[in-house]
Amino acid sequence: MKGMLTLDELRECVDRGEINTVLACQVDMQGRLMGKRFQAEYFCESAWEETHSCNYLLATDMEMETVDGFASTSWQAGYGDYTMKPDLSTLRLAPWLDSTALVLCDVLDHHTHAEVPHSPRAVLKKQIAELERRDTVAFMASELEFFLFRNSFEEVAEAGYSSLRPISQYNEDYHIFQTTKEEEVMQAIRNGLQGAGIPVENSKGEACSGQEEINVRYADALTMADRHVILKNACKEIAWSKGRAVTFMAKWSYDAAGNSSHVHQSLWARGEEPLFYDANSDHGMSDTMKHYVAGLLNHAAEITLFLAPYINSYKRFQAGTFAPTKAVWSMDNRTAGYRVCGADSKAVRVECRVGGADLNPYLAFAALLAAGLDGIDQKMGLEDAFVGDAYAGEGVQEIPSTLRDAIRLADESAFLRKAFGDEVIDHYTHAARWEQFETDRRVTDWDLRRGFERA
Protein backbone atom coordinates (compact mmCIF):
# COMPACT_ATOMS: atom_id res chain seq x y z
CA MET A 1 0.00 0.00 0.00
CA LYS A 2 1.09 3.57 -0.63
CA GLY A 3 3.01 4.84 2.37
CA MET A 4 4.73 1.53 3.11
CA LEU A 5 8.42 1.28 2.24
CA THR A 6 10.91 -1.45 1.53
CA LEU A 7 14.46 -0.90 2.72
CA ASP A 8 15.57 -0.27 -0.87
CA GLU A 9 12.78 2.29 -1.32
CA LEU A 10 13.84 4.01 1.89
CA ARG A 11 17.41 4.19 0.61
CA GLU A 12 16.18 5.76 -2.62
CA CYS A 13 14.16 8.35 -0.65
CA VAL A 14 17.25 9.13 1.42
CA ASP A 15 19.41 9.50 -1.69
CA ARG A 16 16.85 11.94 -3.16
CA GLY A 17 16.82 13.97 0.06
CA GLU A 18 13.18 13.18 0.81
CA ILE A 19 13.84 11.33 4.10
CA ASN A 20 16.44 12.35 6.67
CA THR A 21 15.06 10.77 9.86
CA VAL A 22 13.93 7.25 10.76
CA LEU A 23 12.05 6.54 13.98
CA ALA A 24 12.90 3.07 15.31
CA CYS A 25 10.19 2.31 17.89
CA GLN A 26 9.37 -0.42 20.34
CA VAL A 27 6.06 -0.62 22.19
CA ASP A 28 6.13 -0.26 25.96
CA MET A 29 3.82 -1.81 28.57
CA GLN A 30 1.41 1.10 28.23
CA GLY A 31 1.18 0.74 24.45
CA ARG A 32 3.31 3.81 23.69
CA LEU A 33 6.06 4.19 21.11
CA MET A 34 9.55 4.37 22.61
CA GLY A 35 12.79 4.46 20.67
CA LYS A 36 15.31 6.55 18.78
CA ARG A 37 15.45 9.03 15.91
CA PHE A 38 18.11 7.83 13.52
CA GLN A 39 19.87 9.88 10.94
CA ALA A 40 18.45 8.15 7.87
CA GLU A 41 21.83 7.46 6.27
CA TYR A 42 23.03 5.62 9.37
CA PHE A 43 19.81 3.63 9.64
CA CYS A 44 20.17 2.50 6.02
CA GLU A 45 23.82 1.60 6.60
CA SER A 46 23.52 -0.55 9.71
CA ALA A 47 20.77 0.29 12.22
CA TRP A 48 18.16 -1.44 10.04
CA GLU A 49 19.60 -4.68 11.38
CA GLU A 50 19.38 -3.86 15.09
CA THR A 51 19.80 -1.23 17.76
CA HIS A 52 19.55 -1.24 21.57
CA SER A 53 17.46 0.19 24.38
CA CYS A 54 17.54 0.10 28.16
CA ASN A 55 15.53 -2.83 29.47
CA TYR A 56 13.76 -0.62 31.99
CA LEU A 57 11.41 0.42 29.15
CA LEU A 58 9.40 -2.73 29.87
CA ALA A 59 9.47 -2.27 33.65
CA THR A 60 8.22 1.25 34.36
CA ASP A 61 4.88 2.83 35.14
CA MET A 62 3.00 5.51 33.18
CA GLU A 63 5.39 8.18 34.46
CA MET A 64 8.43 6.02 33.65
CA GLU A 65 9.31 5.45 37.28
CA THR A 66 11.62 2.48 37.82
CA VAL A 67 9.39 0.11 39.78
CA ASP A 68 11.00 -2.36 42.20
CA GLY A 69 10.06 -6.02 42.19
CA PHE A 70 10.18 -7.00 38.52
CA ALA A 71 11.96 -10.29 37.86
CA SER A 72 13.08 -9.17 34.40
CA THR A 73 15.26 -6.22 35.45
CA SER A 74 16.18 -4.09 38.45
CA TRP A 75 18.78 -1.76 39.97
CA GLN A 76 20.50 -4.84 41.34
CA ALA A 77 20.73 -6.34 37.86
CA GLY A 78 22.03 -3.05 36.51
CA TYR A 79 19.30 -2.21 34.01
CA GLY A 80 21.08 -3.57 30.96
CA ASP A 81 20.13 -3.52 27.30
CA TYR A 82 17.52 -5.13 25.13
CA THR A 83 18.07 -5.50 21.41
CA MET A 84 15.56 -3.72 19.18
CA LYS A 85 15.14 -5.62 15.91
CA PRO A 86 13.35 -3.53 13.24
CA ASP A 87 10.49 -5.42 11.62
CA LEU A 88 10.98 -4.09 8.10
CA SER A 89 7.45 -5.14 7.12
CA THR A 90 6.29 -2.18 9.27
CA LEU A 91 8.60 0.39 7.63
CA ARG A 92 6.54 3.33 6.44
CA LEU A 93 6.39 7.07 5.89
CA ALA A 94 5.24 9.28 8.79
CA PRO A 95 3.80 12.11 6.65
CA TRP A 96 2.75 14.30 9.59
CA LEU A 97 6.45 14.65 10.52
CA ASP A 98 8.91 16.39 8.25
CA SER A 99 11.07 14.06 6.11
CA THR A 100 10.50 11.13 8.47
CA ALA A 101 9.95 7.38 8.23
CA LEU A 102 8.97 4.99 11.04
CA VAL A 103 9.56 1.33 11.79
CA LEU A 104 8.38 -0.87 14.66
CA CYS A 105 10.85 -3.16 16.39
CA ASP A 106 10.64 -6.50 18.15
CA VAL A 107 12.37 -6.61 21.54
CA LEU A 108 15.00 -9.31 21.94
CA ASP A 109 17.18 -10.54 24.77
CA HIS A 110 20.57 -8.88 24.33
CA HIS A 111 22.47 -12.15 24.80
CA THR A 112 20.27 -14.87 23.29
CA HIS A 113 18.39 -12.77 20.72
CA ALA A 114 15.20 -14.59 21.73
CA GLU A 115 12.09 -12.41 21.91
CA VAL A 116 11.47 -10.99 25.39
CA PRO A 117 8.32 -12.91 26.47
CA HIS A 118 6.61 -9.98 28.21
CA SER A 119 7.20 -7.51 25.37
CA PRO A 120 3.74 -6.66 24.00
CA ARG A 121 4.42 -7.75 20.42
CA ALA A 122 5.81 -11.09 21.65
CA VAL A 123 2.71 -11.72 23.80
CA LEU A 124 0.45 -11.33 20.78
CA LYS A 125 2.77 -13.25 18.46
CA LYS A 126 2.55 -16.26 20.79
CA GLN A 127 -1.22 -16.41 20.27
CA ILE A 128 -0.78 -15.89 16.52
CA ALA A 129 1.52 -18.93 16.54
CA GLU A 130 -1.30 -20.93 18.14
CA LEU A 131 -3.56 -19.85 15.29
CA GLU A 132 -0.96 -20.77 12.68
CA ARG A 133 -0.81 -24.29 14.09
CA ARG A 134 -4.52 -24.47 13.25
CA ASP A 135 -3.93 -23.01 9.76
CA THR A 136 -6.08 -20.09 10.92
CA VAL A 137 -5.83 -16.30 10.73
CA ALA A 138 -7.49 -13.87 13.14
CA PHE A 139 -8.77 -10.64 11.66
CA MET A 140 -9.37 -7.79 14.08
CA ALA A 141 -10.31 -4.12 14.09
CA SER A 142 -10.20 -1.69 16.99
CA GLU A 143 -12.42 1.40 17.00
CA LEU A 144 -10.60 4.14 18.90
CA GLU A 145 -12.32 7.05 20.62
CA PHE A 146 -10.69 10.15 22.04
CA PHE A 147 -11.50 13.68 23.15
CA LEU A 148 -10.20 16.70 21.25
CA PHE A 149 -9.68 19.94 23.17
CA ARG A 150 -9.29 23.59 22.24
CA ASN A 151 -6.36 23.76 24.66
CA SER A 152 -2.84 22.72 23.73
CA PHE A 153 -1.01 20.05 25.73
CA GLU A 154 1.19 22.79 27.20
CA GLU A 155 -1.80 24.93 28.25
CA VAL A 156 -3.48 21.90 29.85
CA ALA A 157 -0.35 21.09 31.88
CA GLU A 158 0.24 24.71 32.96
CA ALA A 159 -3.37 24.93 34.17
CA GLY A 160 -2.95 21.81 36.28
CA TYR A 161 -5.24 19.82 33.98
CA SER A 162 -8.18 22.03 34.88
CA SER A 163 -10.34 24.30 32.71
CA LEU A 164 -10.27 21.84 29.83
CA ARG A 165 -12.33 23.02 26.88
CA PRO A 166 -13.62 20.33 24.52
CA ILE A 167 -13.54 21.32 20.86
CA SER A 168 -17.36 21.41 20.71
CA GLN A 169 -20.13 22.51 23.03
CA TYR A 170 -22.61 19.67 22.49
CA ASN A 171 -23.05 15.99 21.68
CA GLU A 172 -21.63 15.58 18.18
CA ASP A 173 -22.44 11.95 17.47
CA TYR A 174 -22.57 11.62 13.65
CA HIS A 175 -22.93 15.45 13.51
CA ILE A 176 -21.60 16.76 10.19
CA PHE A 177 -21.80 20.52 10.88
CA GLN A 178 -19.97 20.28 14.21
CA THR A 179 -17.30 17.95 12.87
CA THR A 180 -16.77 20.35 9.95
CA LYS A 181 -15.43 22.81 12.55
CA GLU A 182 -12.89 20.19 13.64
CA GLU A 183 -11.63 19.22 10.18
CA GLU A 184 -8.33 21.06 10.51
CA VAL A 185 -7.28 18.34 12.94
CA MET A 186 -9.36 15.36 11.84
CA GLN A 187 -8.62 15.68 8.14
CA ALA A 188 -4.92 15.91 8.94
CA ILE A 189 -5.22 12.72 11.01
CA ARG A 190 -7.06 10.81 8.27
CA ASN A 191 -4.67 11.94 5.54
CA GLY A 192 -1.61 11.38 7.73
CA LEU A 193 -2.61 7.82 8.55
CA GLN A 194 -3.52 7.05 4.94
CA GLY A 195 -0.14 8.40 3.86
CA ALA A 196 1.53 6.13 6.41
CA GLY A 197 0.05 3.00 4.88
CA ILE A 198 -2.82 2.74 7.37
CA PRO A 199 -6.05 2.55 5.33
CA VAL A 200 -8.63 4.82 6.94
CA GLU A 201 -12.33 4.09 6.72
CA ASN A 202 -13.76 7.18 8.41
CA SER A 203 -13.82 9.54 11.33
CA LYS A 204 -16.96 10.74 13.08
CA GLY A 205 -18.17 12.70 16.03
CA GLU A 206 -18.95 10.55 19.06
CA ALA A 207 -21.54 10.64 21.81
CA CYS A 208 -20.26 13.62 23.79
CA SER A 209 -19.00 17.15 23.23
CA GLY A 210 -15.50 17.05 21.78
CA GLN A 211 -15.41 13.28 21.37
CA GLU A 212 -14.06 11.74 18.16
CA GLU A 213 -13.83 8.26 16.68
CA ILE A 214 -11.39 7.07 14.03
CA ASN A 215 -11.81 3.78 12.21
CA VAL A 216 -9.15 2.09 10.09
CA ARG A 217 -9.55 -1.01 7.98
CA TYR A 218 -9.46 -4.39 9.71
CA ALA A 219 -6.37 -6.56 9.29
CA ASP A 220 -4.68 -9.62 10.71
CA ALA A 221 -4.18 -9.29 14.47
CA LEU A 222 -0.53 -8.19 14.48
CA THR A 223 -0.96 -5.68 11.66
CA MET A 224 -4.03 -4.23 13.40
CA ALA A 225 -2.22 -3.86 16.71
CA ASP A 226 0.65 -2.12 14.90
CA ARG A 227 -1.82 0.23 13.21
CA HIS A 228 -3.48 0.93 16.55
CA VAL A 229 -0.32 2.13 18.33
CA ILE A 230 0.83 4.22 15.37
CA LEU A 231 -2.65 5.75 15.12
CA LYS A 232 -2.67 6.85 18.75
CA ASN A 233 0.78 8.36 18.47
CA ALA A 234 -0.15 10.13 15.22
CA CYS A 235 -3.33 11.62 16.74
CA LYS A 236 -1.30 13.12 19.59
CA GLU A 237 1.45 14.46 17.33
CA ILE A 238 -0.96 15.92 14.77
CA ALA A 239 -3.16 17.52 17.43
CA TRP A 240 -0.04 18.99 19.07
CA SER A 241 1.09 20.43 15.73
CA LYS A 242 -2.28 22.21 15.44
CA GLY A 243 -2.14 23.64 18.96
CA ARG A 244 -4.71 21.17 20.29
CA ALA A 245 -4.66 18.39 22.88
CA VAL A 246 -6.30 14.97 22.82
CA THR A 247 -6.82 12.33 25.47
CA PHE A 248 -7.36 8.59 25.19
CA MET A 249 -8.08 8.24 28.93
CA ALA A 250 -10.91 5.80 29.53
CA LYS A 251 -12.74 8.42 31.61
CA TRP A 252 -11.35 11.96 31.69
CA SER A 253 -14.40 13.56 33.34
CA TYR A 254 -17.24 12.29 35.50
CA ASP A 255 -19.68 14.27 33.34
CA ALA A 256 -18.35 13.03 30.00
CA ALA A 257 -18.71 9.71 28.21
CA GLY A 258 -15.82 7.30 28.36
CA ASN A 259 -13.37 6.54 25.56
CA SER A 260 -13.70 2.99 24.29
CA SER A 261 -11.68 0.72 22.05
CA HIS A 262 -14.18 -1.80 20.74
CA VAL A 263 -12.44 -4.82 19.24
CA HIS A 264 -14.05 -6.70 16.34
CA GLN A 265 -12.83 -10.27 15.83
CA SER A 266 -13.27 -13.14 13.41
CA LEU A 267 -11.32 -16.24 12.42
CA TRP A 268 -10.61 -17.29 8.84
CA ALA A 269 -8.97 -20.31 7.29
CA ARG A 270 -5.83 -19.53 5.34
CA GLY A 271 -7.78 -20.36 2.22
CA GLU A 272 -9.93 -17.31 3.04
CA GLU A 273 -12.88 -19.33 4.28
CA PRO A 274 -14.78 -17.51 7.08
CA LEU A 275 -14.72 -19.90 10.01
CA PHE A 276 -17.36 -17.93 11.92
CA TYR A 277 -19.99 -18.23 9.16
CA ASP A 278 -22.47 -21.05 8.60
CA ALA A 279 -25.39 -20.17 6.34
CA ASN A 280 -27.45 -23.03 7.83
CA SER A 281 -27.06 -21.94 11.46
CA ASP A 282 -28.98 -19.36 13.49
CA HIS A 283 -27.74 -15.84 12.68
CA GLY A 284 -25.11 -17.43 10.43
CA MET A 285 -23.00 -18.29 13.48
CA SER A 286 -20.94 -21.44 12.99
CA ASP A 287 -20.21 -23.87 15.80
CA THR A 288 -16.64 -22.52 15.77
CA MET A 289 -17.92 -19.00 16.38
CA LYS A 290 -20.25 -20.17 19.15
CA HIS A 291 -17.39 -21.95 20.92
CA TYR A 292 -15.16 -18.87 20.48
CA VAL A 293 -17.76 -16.51 21.96
CA ALA A 294 -18.37 -18.98 24.79
CA GLY A 295 -14.64 -18.84 25.54
CA LEU A 296 -14.74 -15.04 25.65
CA LEU A 297 -17.59 -15.15 28.15
CA ASN A 298 -16.12 -17.98 30.22
CA HIS A 299 -12.85 -16.07 30.66
CA ALA A 300 -14.31 -12.54 30.58
CA ALA A 301 -13.46 -11.75 34.19
CA GLU A 302 -9.92 -13.16 34.00
CA ILE A 303 -8.94 -11.16 30.91
CA THR A 304 -10.39 -7.84 32.06
CA LEU A 305 -6.98 -6.67 33.32
CA PHE A 306 -5.75 -6.64 29.71
CA LEU A 307 -8.78 -4.68 28.53
CA ALA A 308 -8.89 -2.23 31.44
CA PRO A 309 -5.32 -1.84 32.81
CA TYR A 310 -5.66 1.23 35.08
CA ILE A 311 -7.81 2.35 37.98
CA ASN A 312 -9.26 5.06 35.75
CA SER A 313 -10.33 2.34 33.28
CA TYR A 314 -13.01 1.10 35.69
CA LYS A 315 -14.62 4.52 36.03
CA ARG A 316 -15.83 4.12 32.45
CA PHE A 317 -18.12 1.18 33.31
CA GLN A 318 -21.30 3.14 34.02
CA ALA A 319 -24.87 2.18 33.14
CA GLY A 320 -26.48 4.15 30.34
CA THR A 321 -23.19 5.38 28.87
CA PHE A 322 -22.68 2.81 26.08
CA ALA A 323 -19.84 1.34 28.15
CA PRO A 324 -20.87 -2.16 29.30
CA THR A 325 -21.29 -3.41 32.84
CA LYS A 326 -22.33 -7.00 32.05
CA ALA A 327 -20.26 -9.73 30.39
CA VAL A 328 -23.07 -11.10 28.25
CA TRP A 329 -23.46 -11.53 24.50
CA SER A 330 -26.31 -10.20 22.42
CA MET A 331 -27.31 -9.63 18.82
CA ASP A 332 -26.48 -6.10 17.66
CA ASN A 333 -27.06 -4.73 21.16
CA ARG A 334 -24.80 -1.92 22.36
CA THR A 335 -25.68 -2.46 26.03
CA ALA A 336 -23.93 -5.86 26.09
CA GLY A 337 -20.24 -6.46 26.72
CA TYR A 338 -20.03 -8.69 23.64
CA ARG A 339 -22.09 -7.82 20.54
CA VAL A 340 -22.52 -10.02 17.45
CA CYS A 341 -22.43 -7.94 14.26
CA GLY A 342 -22.91 -8.81 10.60
CA ALA A 343 -25.33 -11.63 11.32
CA ASP A 344 -26.29 -13.94 8.46
CA SER A 345 -23.33 -12.86 6.33
CA LYS A 346 -19.69 -13.80 5.81
CA ALA A 347 -18.87 -10.68 7.84
CA VAL A 348 -20.40 -12.15 11.01
CA ARG A 349 -18.10 -11.31 13.92
CA VAL A 350 -18.03 -10.58 17.62
CA GLU A 351 -17.32 -7.13 18.99
CA CYS A 352 -15.83 -6.86 22.49
CA ARG A 353 -17.07 -3.58 23.97
CA VAL A 354 -15.27 -3.94 27.31
CA GLY A 355 -11.93 -2.31 26.51
CA GLY A 356 -11.18 1.38 26.85
CA ALA A 357 -8.97 3.51 24.61
CA ASP A 358 -6.23 3.20 27.25
CA LEU A 359 -5.64 -0.51 26.55
CA ASN A 360 -2.47 -1.92 25.04
CA PRO A 361 -3.77 -3.54 21.82
CA TYR A 362 -1.19 -6.33 21.72
CA LEU A 363 -2.13 -7.51 25.21
CA ALA A 364 -5.86 -7.04 24.68
CA PHE A 365 -5.89 -8.88 21.35
CA ALA A 366 -3.78 -11.69 22.81
CA ALA A 367 -6.12 -12.13 25.78
CA LEU A 368 -9.21 -12.19 23.57
CA LEU A 369 -7.67 -14.69 21.17
CA ALA A 370 -6.49 -16.93 23.99
CA ALA A 371 -9.97 -16.95 25.54
CA GLY A 372 -11.69 -17.62 22.24
CA LEU A 373 -9.28 -20.41 21.27
CA ASP A 374 -9.78 -22.07 24.65
CA GLY A 375 -13.51 -21.99 23.97
CA ILE A 376 -12.91 -23.75 20.66
CA ASP A 377 -10.50 -26.31 22.11
CA GLN A 378 -12.87 -27.13 24.98
CA LYS A 379 -15.94 -26.99 22.70
CA MET A 380 -17.63 -24.72 25.24
CA GLY A 381 -21.37 -24.35 24.93
CA LEU A 382 -22.72 -20.87 24.30
CA GLU A 383 -25.40 -19.51 26.61
CA ASP A 384 -28.52 -17.99 25.06
CA ALA A 385 -28.17 -14.46 23.72
CA PHE A 386 -29.19 -11.74 26.15
CA VAL A 387 -32.23 -9.79 24.98
CA GLY A 388 -33.07 -6.28 26.16
CA ASP A 389 -31.23 -3.74 28.29
CA ALA A 390 -28.14 -5.52 29.61
CA TYR A 391 -27.60 -2.78 32.18
CA ALA A 392 -30.79 -3.99 33.88
CA GLY A 393 -29.88 -7.67 33.58
CA GLU A 394 -30.15 -9.69 36.76
CA GLY A 395 -28.33 -12.91 37.59
CA VAL A 396 -25.80 -12.41 34.77
CA GLN A 397 -22.02 -12.07 34.82
CA GLU A 398 -20.72 -8.66 35.84
CA ILE A 399 -17.57 -7.08 34.45
CA PRO A 400 -15.09 -6.64 37.34
CA SER A 401 -15.69 -3.19 38.76
CA THR A 402 -12.24 -2.44 40.19
CA LEU A 403 -8.63 -2.91 39.18
CA ARG A 404 -8.03 -4.73 42.47
CA ASP A 405 -10.55 -7.41 41.50
CA ALA A 406 -9.14 -7.67 37.97
CA ILE A 407 -5.59 -8.17 39.28
CA ARG A 408 -6.68 -11.00 41.57
CA LEU A 409 -8.65 -12.74 38.83
CA ALA A 410 -5.78 -12.54 36.32
CA ASP A 411 -3.20 -13.62 38.89
CA GLU A 412 -5.23 -16.66 39.94
CA SER A 413 -6.14 -17.68 36.38
CA ALA A 414 -4.71 -21.08 35.44
CA PHE A 415 -6.00 -20.47 31.91
CA LEU A 416 -4.04 -17.22 31.50
CA ARG A 417 -0.89 -18.68 33.01
CA LYS A 418 -1.06 -21.56 30.53
CA ALA A 419 -1.76 -19.25 27.58
CA PHE A 420 0.71 -16.44 28.38
CA GLY A 421 3.18 -18.12 30.72
CA ASP A 422 3.87 -17.42 34.39
CA GLU A 423 6.58 -14.88 33.59
CA VAL A 424 4.20 -12.70 31.59
CA ILE A 425 1.32 -12.88 34.08
CA ASP A 426 3.64 -12.18 37.03
CA HIS A 427 5.11 -9.21 35.15
CA TYR A 428 1.81 -7.53 34.31
CA THR A 429 0.06 -8.24 37.60
CA HIS A 430 3.08 -6.74 39.38
CA ALA A 431 2.75 -3.63 37.21
CA ALA A 432 -0.97 -3.45 37.99
CA ARG A 433 -0.39 -3.77 41.73
CA TRP A 434 2.02 -0.82 41.51
CA GLU A 435 -0.70 1.15 39.71
CA GLN A 436 -3.10 0.31 42.54
CA PHE A 437 -0.54 1.23 45.22
CA GLU A 438 0.29 4.56 43.56
CA THR A 439 -3.37 5.54 43.30
CA ASP A 440 -4.29 4.41 46.80
CA ARG A 441 -1.79 6.79 48.39
CA ARG A 442 -2.57 9.89 46.31
CA VAL A 443 -4.78 12.79 47.41
CA THR A 444 -7.04 13.86 44.55
CA ASP A 445 -8.80 17.12 43.70
CA TRP A 446 -12.07 15.34 44.44
CA ASP A 447 -10.84 14.49 47.94
CA LEU A 448 -10.02 18.16 48.57
CA ARG A 449 -13.28 19.54 47.19
CA ARG A 450 -15.32 17.04 49.17
CA GLY A 451 -13.51 17.06 52.46
CA PHE A 452 -11.43 20.21 52.91
CA GLU A 453 -14.12 22.06 54.84
CA ARG A 454 -16.71 19.40 55.58
CA ALA A 455 -14.58 16.56 56.92
Q: 3-state SS of 414-438?
A: HHHHHHHCHHHHHHHHHHHHHHHHH
Sequence-distant (6+) residues with CB within 8 A of 449 are: none
As a whole number, mean pLDDT of residues 292-312 equals 98
Q: Is it the case that residue 1 has pLDDT exceeding 90?
A: no
Cα separation, 249 vs 291, in Å, equals 33
Residue 272: which pLDDT band, with cuts at 50, 70 and 90? Answer: confident
pLDDT > 90 in the chain, percent: 98
**Which tens digits make up the pLDDT trace of 345-358?**
999 999 999 999 99
Q: Which helix (H) or strand (E) holds 212?
A: strand 211-216
pLDDT score at 283: 95
Q: Is it the case that residue 209 has pLDDT exceeding 80?
A: yes
CATH of span 127-445: 3.30.590.10
Q: In the chain, what are the domain boundaries? A: 7-116, 127-445
Mark 195-226 as b/e (b = at least 16 C-beta within 10 Å): bbbbebeebbbbbbbbbbbbbbebbebbbbbb
Q: Is it the case that residue 49 has pLDDT exceeding 90?
A: yes
pLDDT score at 337: 97
What is the second-level CATH architecture of the domain 7-116?
Answer: Roll (3.10)
**Which tens digits make up the pLDDT trace of 424-449?**
999 999 999 999 999 999 999 999 99
As a whole number, mean pLDDT of residues 114-143 equals 97
Cα 147 from chain centroid (whole Å): 16
**Which tens digits make up the pLDDT trace of 144-197?**
999 999 999 999 999 999 889 999 999 999 999 999 999 999 999 999 999 999
Summary mean pLDDT of the chain:
96
Residue 409: which pLDDT band, with cuts at 50, 70 and 90? Answer: very high
